[in-house]
Amino acid sequence: MAEHNELGEAGEQLAAEYLSKKGYEIVQRNYAFKKAEIDIIAKKDGKLIVVEVKTRNSDYLAGPEITVTKKKQKSIIRAANFYIQENDLDIETQFDIISIIWNSKEKTIEHMEDAFYPLL
């Protein structure tokens, strides 16, 4: 497996552990719909929390969260809508990003709640 894939998987595991410690119930990981994937689906305080995890070994040019483009957001929202319909849910939904910098010198986690919103 490529090193960046291993870093991504390790980052998703770290994010899931972080959320669990913060009282989130992890409902599903790596939910796929067509070409879209949701890294983590969780519940907390009566909300469905859809989490995109971005892990990098450096924030030299920009933080990992900057890679969650409008196109990526639309893809995540589309997958979340399908998940909600597929599971017959009537629940408020929140879209978060967890940005992780992980290298030999540091391991930092930044949780951006309500990072983006579905367009009406």
Task: Let me know: does 24 contact 43? Beta carbons within 8 Å.
Answer: yes
Average pLDDT, rounded, for the chain = 88
In 3D space, the residue among 66, 58, 59, 57 whose CA is nearest the CA of residue 10 turns out to be 57
% of residues, the chain, pLDDT over 70: 87
* Residue 63, pLDDT score: 58
Q: Which amino acid is at 115?
A: A
Instruction: Write down all domains in the chain, each with its CATH number in brackets.
Output: 3-116 (3.40.1350.10)
**Encoding tokens for residue 79?**
């997958």
Give mean pLDDT, residues 58-79.
Answer: 77
Q: In whole angstroms, what is the distance from residue 68 CA to residue 84 CA? A: 21
Q: Is 20 helix (H, G, I), strand (E, B) or coil?
A: helix
* Residue 101, pLDDT score: 86
**Encoding tokens for residue 100?**
């992780």
Task: Let me know: does 107 contact 7? Beta carbons within 8 Å.
Answer: no
